[in-house]
Each structure stands twice: as C-alpha cells, then as structure tokens.
Amino acid sequence: MATCVILAAGKGTRMLSPLPKVLHKLGGLSLVEHVVKAASAIDKSPILVVGHQADEVMGNIEGVRFATQSPQLGTGHAVMMALPQIPNNDEPVLVLFGDTPLIKASTLHKLVAQLGEGRPLAVLAFESEHPGRYGRVVAEKDIIHDIVEAKDATDNQLAIRLCNAGVMAGTGAMFHRFIPQISNHNAAKEYYLTDLVAMVRGEGLDVAYSLAGEEEVAGVNSQFDLSEREAAYQKQQRRTLMDQGVQMPHPETVFLSHDTKLPAGSLVEAHCVLAPGVKAHGPVTIRAFSHLEGAELSEGCVVGPYARLRPGTILGPKVRIGNFVETKKTKL
C-alpha cells in the first residue's frame, strides 16, 4: 500500500496574505485540498506536513494524518518529520507539494510505476521551453544522473529543457535509509530532498523519472501565480463539461467550481458563475450574468438572465427565475 506525504509547512511569504498559502482557493477548493484529492487515489489517508500557521491549516483539512515541521528547515527536513509514519518496507512512498493544485492522480500512478528492482527512487520531470530558474535534470534515456540547480549549472546544463518538478516516489526503505543522512552543509543551512538523487546514485542504484506537463506541476508562490493556475483550472473544467454535452457559447466568461456537474443538454450563457454546491437533475438553462451557489435545480429550469441563487434554493421541474431575482433558502 502506498503512502503519500504532502509538504505544506512553508510560509508563502510572496503571497502577501494573512491566509496560509495552501488554504487559498482555486475553483472554490483550497490548493492543498486539490493535492489531497489527487493523493487520496493512492493513499486514503495521506500525511500532511504542516508548520507555518499549522493550527489554521489543520483546522481546515480533513481525511489526512498530520506531521509538524517546526522550524521549517527545507524539504528533506519536512520528510524527516513524517518519517515515523512512513512504513520501512518496499512499498512506494510519494512526496508532493501542497501548492501544486493541478497534479493528477494518473501522473502519480505513472511515477510509482517507474520504481523497480535497482530503482528505488523516481523523480517527476517536465520539459520547458523557458526553463529559467528550474533545476535541470541530467538524464540519459530514462535514468537520471544528476539534478543541478540553475544557479550552479554550467552553460551546457542550462541548455537542458528537462526540469525537476519536485515530486518524488521511492520505497519506504529507501526513505528510511537515506533521509537521516541528508545534511544541511550548504549556504542556506537547509536539508534538501533532491540530495537523495546523489545518495542513491552513490550506492550504484538507478534513479528513474517520468514526465508531466509543465502546467500540471506548476506551483503557487504569488497572487499572480494563483491567477494563472485558476485560469488553467477553469479551462480544464469548461472543456470537461463541454465534452460531456454542455453548451457554453462563451466559455472564457464562465467560472466553475471543483464540484460543478451539469447534465448533457444544459446551456450556460456568458458571464455566469457557478460557485460550489450547485446541483442539476436534468438539463437546465442558465442565462447570462447569473450567479448560483448551493442551489439545486430540477430538469427544465431556466435561471436568469441577471439572477442570483443563493444557498438553500431548490427549484422544481421547469421553474423559471427571471431577471434581477435573488433567492435564498427557498423552495419553488
């Protein structure tokens, strides 16, 4: 059985927000809850490593086990804090980051599949047209020789487009053997998870990798980053609904939530917001400039234009809500 460790202890200084970075919302769900959702496909009770504003994070996340990192001394140190909860055997362990909300469960499964005899560690990588500050993955075929930080890379290494996404998979035994050996003998005096690559290679073992899309593994370090991830997420959600038969003439103006589901044959016009908790039991029509949240619609309902349905609204079959109407805790 696999174990997932999600790192969520950082301060998120560049967010310039009193809210912990991982609790910022994307599609109506916190960043870290998106990661927990993906990880839960592999580990029903992932380990969440918390630190900065730990009580607030712990009070908002369910379905996980917690480990505390205080002070925060790097990614390797974070995994050290989770080590007592990681089985010391050959079962896979995944290390993810709580600020990468677009990561997919299928990508995690592919990474785990890279582990095998003589390959106790695998790294998730991506190819970038503009690798910039990303760490470069020096590899031959499907085996990694080294991960080099951009600031330490040679000109030839800077030309490499294969980059480190940060996510790792390894056996529990590998983590128990090597994590305690990571040192902080560096300028930042931190313990780096990427040191595992050299340690494993030093034992004559291979480090594998698998590929993901750059957008999928992109993190959130600023409010601008958050807006970029939101835009990508919305595009995915819209495409999913349209592929399922929902008509959306102006999709770029429609904003959806993590739990938005609409039956085939539904129509969503321009400039609509479907906040969390919207349910539709059959095809419905949502006309332009309408805002729905926590509302339940029966087949044939027509909402708007310029309507607002607030939580607790329940509409029966073929109910029509006209323009500039607002409802709350109402059954029609």
How many Å apart are CA 71 and CA 188, to the nearest integer? 14
Is 287 a residue of the active site? no
Here the contacts of 177-186 (C-beta below 8 Å, separation 24 or greater) are 179/76, 179/79, 179/80, 179/83, 180/80, 180/83, 182/76, 182/77, 182/80, 184/73, 184/74, 184/77
Determine the distance from the C-alpha atom of residue 65 to the mean position of all C-alpha atoms in its chain, rounded to a whole number. 18
Distance CA 121, CA 279 (A): 43
User: E-strand spans in 205-253?
Assistant: 207-211
Measure the CA angle with vertex 122, ends 212 and 29; round to 5°: 50
How much helix, strand and coil, in percent to the nearest 5, is found in the chain?
30, 25, 45
Residues designated catalytic:
14
